């Protein structure tokens, strides 16, 4: 009888002289408020959370836009991502000077300063854009990671995406590498039918397909992880009742989290799609993502 090989011991990352335990990652559909929640976590005692730190974003974007890099290379991809965070989470003036504007603003950093007291940091985390597309690699890199998923009404998400020049730039011919990468989670292309209809979609339809793909990935994560490893929130909850969200997140991560208006949470943008989208765009979004909208509890019509 063959004795099964022992499972490899999980890698323990050491940053700033401390072991990284139960890092918290904020993921979600595009323009779902991950930055808002990341900023709230960053400003909570004991947390060092990065948002769009260049070394992390470059790795995340590479994995997201070329998903074949990760396929069949789980261990190598996890090592690359873990190494990126090992650098991103360093608390030195030089490291913070090179951080993103969003991260520096969230940490209230000006000049050559650091955003957290190294001695007070007990938890690490990240809320970089597009981190959703590295969820499986995150879990491989950090066996005890905690994931907070954020979802938003597809129509509001699409309206926000259409107003974001960087988001739209990825749909340009020659940039959207859908012919060479299949399936392509970043663009929400899962089947041959999705690939066939892609050229016919407007920008609103393509944004809706991205949202639909993210929501399906989130659903798969929910079925594969226990409740103490992953929780799902709605941006609408965050905007409507930040105190309730703060309590829910605090209970989930096991530490107090402060979510207040001073963290940038405002009620603006709810149901803005009614004035920002044309009837034709709304109809196309419903055609592409209506079933998923209804499944996750958003009223259509």
The secondary structure of 88-155, three-state, reads: HCCCCHHHHHCCCHHHHHHCCCCCCCCCCCHHHCCEEEECCCCHHHHHHHHHHHCCCCEEEEEECCHH
% of the chain with per-residue pLDDT over 70: 93
Identify which has the larger pLDDT, 4 or 10: 10
What's the pLDDT at 264? 44
Identify which has the larger pLDDT, 74 or 125: 125
What's the pLDDT at 246? 94
Q: Can you give the residue ranges of every domain in the chain?
A: 12-152+226-266, 154-222+271-301
From start to end of the chain, where are the E strands?
A: 14-15, 18-19, 24-28, 47-50, 123-126, 146-151, 230-234
What's the pLDDT at 101? 83
What's the pLDDT at 260? 67
Q: What is the mean pLDDT of residues 37-58?
A: 93
Q: What is the mean pLDDT of residues 10-17?
A: 82
What's the pLDDT at 269? 53
pLDDT per residue as tens digits for the range 275-295 = 999 999 999 999 999 999 999
pLDDT per residue as tens digits for the range 78-105 = 999 999 999 999 988 777 777 888 888 8
Q: pLDDT grade, residue 263 (50/70/90)? A: very low
- Cβ–Cβ under 8 Å, residues 168 and 205: no
pLDDT per residue as tens digits for the range 180-194 = 999 999 999 999 999
What's the pLDDT at 106? 83
Q: Which of 152, 150, 145 is nearest to 26 (CA)?
A: 150
What's the pLDDT at 266? 47
Q: Is 32 a residue whose pLDDT tops 90?
A: yes
pTM beyond 0.85: yes
Q: What is the mean pLDDT of residues 129-150?
A: 95
In a 13 Å sphere around the CA of 158, the CA atoms on its Cβ side amount to 30
Q: pLDDT grade, residue 111 (50/70/90)? A: confident
Q: What is the mean pLDDT of residues 50-65?
A: 93
| 12-152+226-266: CATH topology | Rossmann fold (3.40.50)
Q: What is the mean pLDDT of residues 148-162?
A: 96
What's the pLDDT at 153? 96
């Amino acid at each position: 009888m063959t004795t099964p090989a022992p499972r490899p011991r999980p890698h323990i990352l050491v940053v700033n002289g401390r072991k990284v335990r139960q890092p918290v990652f904020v993921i979600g559909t595009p323009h779902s408020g991950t930055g808002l929640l990341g900023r709230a976590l960053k400003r909570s005692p004991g947390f060092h959370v990065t948002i769009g730190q260049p070394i992390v974003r470059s790795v995340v974007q590479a994995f997201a836009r070329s998903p074949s890099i990760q396929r069949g290379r789980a261990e190598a991809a996890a090592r690359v991502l873990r190494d990126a965070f090992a650098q991103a989470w360093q608390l030195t003036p030089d490291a913070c000077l090179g951080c993103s504007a969003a991260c520096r603003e969230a940490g209230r950093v000006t000049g050559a300063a650091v955003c957290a007291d190294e001695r007070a940091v007990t938890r690490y985390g990240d809320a970089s854009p597009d981190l959703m597309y590295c969820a499986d690699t995150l879990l491989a890199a950090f066996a005890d990671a905690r994931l907070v998923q954020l979802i938003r009404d597809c129509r509001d998400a699409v309206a926000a995406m259409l107003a974001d020049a960087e988001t739209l730039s990825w749909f340009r011919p020659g940039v959207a590498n859908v012919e060479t990468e299949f399936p392509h989670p970043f663009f929400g292309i899962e089947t041959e039918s999705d690939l066939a209809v892609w050229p016919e979609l407007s920008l609103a339809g393509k944004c809706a397909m991205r949202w639909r793909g993210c929501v399906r990935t989130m659903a798969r994560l929910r079925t594969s992880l226990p409740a103490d490893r992953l929780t799902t929130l709605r941006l609408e909850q965050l905007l409507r009742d930040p105190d309730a969200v703060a309590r829910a997140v605090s209970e989930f991560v096991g530490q107090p989290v402060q979510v207040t208006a001073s963290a940038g949470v405002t009620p603006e943008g709810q149901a803005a799609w009614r004035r920002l989208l044309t009837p034709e765009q709304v109809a196309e979004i419903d055609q592409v993502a209506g079933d998923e909208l209804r499944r996750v509890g958003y009223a259509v019509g």
